[in-house]
Amino acid sequence: MWIALPQHYDDCEERAVHESVKKAPLYRKVNTRARHVHHHFGGDYRHVRNREDERRSDRKRGAMAKGVKRGLDYTPLYRFLLSKVGQDWDDVFREARGRLDKVEPIFWMVALREEDERDYVCIGESSAFSGLRVDENNCLVKVNPGLGPETFQPWCACCTFTFNSVRVTTPWQQSTSFSATSEGDV
């Protein structure tokens, strides 16, 4: 028996093979690029087994914390979202949701309501990313497109700041609102 195949059969087969390849998650389990990052892993039982409260207790051993997720780094998600600026929000959200462990980190950066919009979002001590929003055409856009590493103003002199994963080149300038002296000291 002969079956007629559609003309775009080869294209469909390639697409099916491509979609079957699992994409990498948009988070890292540990930030391995930073030095001296402590991930608060638990201590060894040998350090607590002879403590006074352990000896008096009827329990044989304390409970282990199952499913504790420490050290998750969502920088790949933020870079993914920045690369999708100008595209349809529903498509971007669908792909991001499929590659994450939870959806909350998406909304740390993307505002769906006008009152939630911010020019930039601080992630960690000295990292910031452009704030994003969904416009009336359902497209992902930057809240402040003019803000970049060359225009971003750092808030302290001791840290090396990054904006959208690029080192900030603007030098720190002490502003009057963060002045170390008060009016009574003058």
Question: pLDDT tens digits for 110-138?
Answer: 999 999 999 999 888 888 999 999 999 99
Indicate left, alpha or beta for 174 from its phi (over 0: left) and psi (-120 to 50: alpha): beta
In a domain, 99, yes or no: yes
Tell me whether residue 50 is in a domain.
Answer: no
**pLDDT attached to residue 171:** 81
In a domain, 133, yes or no: yes
Q: What SS3 string covers 83-127?
A: HCCCCEHHHHHHHHHHCCCCCHHHHHHEECCHHHCCCEEEECCCE
Kindly state whether residue 40 falls inside one of the protein's structural domains: no
Q: Rounded to 5 degrees, what are φ and ψ at 123?
A: -125, 110
Residue 155 is given by DSSP the state S
Q: Both tokens of residue 186?
A: 């003058």
Q: Specify the number of domains making up the chain.
A: 1
1-5, 34-38, 126-130, 155-159, range with greatest mean pLDDT: 126-130
Q: What is the mean pLDDT of residues 35-52?
A: 61
Q: What is the pLDDT of residue 134?
A: 94
- The range of the structural domain enclosing residue 76 comes to 25-32+70-145
Q: Which helix (H) or strand (E) holds 52?
A: helix 52-56
Q: What pTM was computed for the model? A: 0.65
Say what the pLDDT of residue 1 is.
Answer: 40
Residue of 12, 65, 70, 18 lying closest to 39 (CA atoms): 70
**How many beta carbons lie within 10 A of that of residue 121, not counting itself?**
17
Return the structure tokens found at 166. Answer: 């690029």
- 142, 83 Cβ separation under 8 angstroms: no
In-domain check, residue 7: no
User: In terms of Cα–Cα distance, which of 154, 144, 96 is closest to 120?
Assistant: 144
Higher pLDDT pick, 84 / 10: 84
Token reading at 76: 């790949």
Average pLDDT, the chain: 75
Residue 157 maps to a domain: no
User: What are 141's strand-pairing partners?
Assistant: 133
Q: State residue 61's pLDDT score.
A: 57
Does residue 126 sit within a domain? yes
Strands laid side by side in the 140-142 sheet:
110-111, 132-134, 140-142
Q: Mean per-residue pLDDT for 50-70?
A: 61
User: Is the residue at 121 inside a domain?
Assistant: yes
Q: What is the three-class DSSP state of 28?
A: strand
Nearest to 108 by CA among 132, 143, 137, 72: 132
